[in-house]
Amino acid sequence: MMSSTPAYPRPPQGDSWFAPVSVDMLAKVLKATFFHPFIAWLIPICFRAEMMDYEATPMRVSIVYATFISLCWIATTINNRIAYGARREVDLGEEVIVITGGSSGLGLLIAEVYGMRGATVAVLDSLEMENGDARGVTFYECDVSDRKQVEKVAQEIEKDLGTPTILINNAAVVNGKLLLQSKIEDIERTINTNILGHFYTLKTFLPPMIRGGNGGTIVTVSSVIGQLGSAQLTDYSASKAAATALHKSLTAELAQTNPEIKTVLVAPGQLSTPLFYGLQTPSSFFAPVVEPVDIAREVVSAIDNGKGGFIAMPLYARWIDWYNVLPASIQRLARAVSGVDTAMRSFVGREGSPMANTEKEKFVAF
C-alpha cells in the first residue's frame, strides 16, 4: 500500500489561490463521473424511474450520451489489447526485479513496494539507499554507466537471487548547465548514465530473461523533456529522447521475436524528487509537479497486470506529440508562454536539498 505522502520535500513553488487545483485534478474528476459509463447510464435510469417516456428528448439524449461513453471505454480496451498484446502471468513470489537508480526517488518507492509484497528486488546504484535496508530489497553498488560493473553485478544477482524477470531502467543524472558552460566530462556522464546504461543493462539482463521462458517486463523511465527539449538541459534532453527511441525500437523487435516480454515507457513531467530540486514549475495549473508515488502506482499496476504501456503525467505529457505538428511560430509562442526555457534558472540540484549537500550526490535516480 503506497502512502500519498511525498517521499521528498516538494520544490518551492509560487503561491496562488488556485494552487490545489490543476487540469489533472479536473480530468480525474470528470473521468470518474461524467465520462464513466456507470455514471452515464444512471441518468437514463433515473429518468425512467420517474416514468419518463423513451421518446422524450432528455431520455434520448441521455441514452445516446451513455452509449457513446460506453463505446469509448470499449474502444480503449480494444486499442490497448491490439497495441500491447496479451497480458503475461505475474507471480510476485517468482519475480526477480532489477531497478537501476533505486536508492532514492521513484526507484526507491517501487523497490520498497515490491519488497514488502514478497518479490525479490535488486537495487543497482552508485549511492547507498537513503532509507537504509528495506525488506526484500538487496542493494548492489553499481555505476550503470560502467559496462563491466553491470556485468559483474549481473553475475552476483543471478547467483544470489535468481534470473531477473523485470528490469526497470530508472537511473539518471542531470547537469543543468548551458551547453557552452558544460564540461565534456559532465556531458559524457549524462549520456553514459542516461542512455548507454540502458543498453548495458538490456544487453546483460535481457538474454537470461528470454531464456527463462516465463516472459518479463522492461520499464524505461524517460521524460517529457525528451520530446520538448529545454534550455540548460541539452544533454539531459538528448539522452531522454534517445531513451524513448530505444524503447520504441526495442518494443518493435520484441513484438516479433519475444512477445512474452512486455515493455513500458514512463515519460513524466517534473517529478518532486531531489534530481530537480529547486526547479519551479512554469504553471501549477497546466503543468503541476508530479509526486513519485503517483507514477510508482501506475508502474506497479502495469507490471502486476503483465501489461505493456505508456505512462505519462501530468495530463499535457500524454498529448505532447501534438506539439510537434504545430506551426513553428505557434511552438515558439507556446514555449514563451509556458516558461519551459526559463524554468531551469531556479534549478539548485540535489546538493541544495535537505537530503544532501555534496557534488557527488547529484548522481541520483529520477
Active-site amino acid positions = 236
Fill in the amino acid letter for 315. L
Closest to 220 in 3D by CA, of 184, 240, 247: 247
Euclidean distance between CA atoms 362 and 90, whole angstroms: 35
221 grid coordinates: 523511465
What is the widest separation between alpha-carbon atoms in the chain? 75
Overall residue count recorded for the chain in this entry: 366
61 grid coordinates: 439524449
Which residue bears the cell 465520462? 35
145 grid coordinates: 554507466
Phi, psi of 365 (to 5 degrees): -80, 160
Euclidean distance between CA atoms 260 and 108, whole angstroms: 26
Closest to 104 in 3D by CA, of 231, 24, 6, 234: 6
Instruction: Give CA 198 to chain center in angstroms.
Output: 15
CB of 108 closer than 8 Å to CB of 7: yes
Contacts of residue 236, Cβ cutoff 8 Å, sequence gap at least 6: 172, 174, 175, 176, 190, 194, 223, 225
Fill in the amino acid letter for 58. P
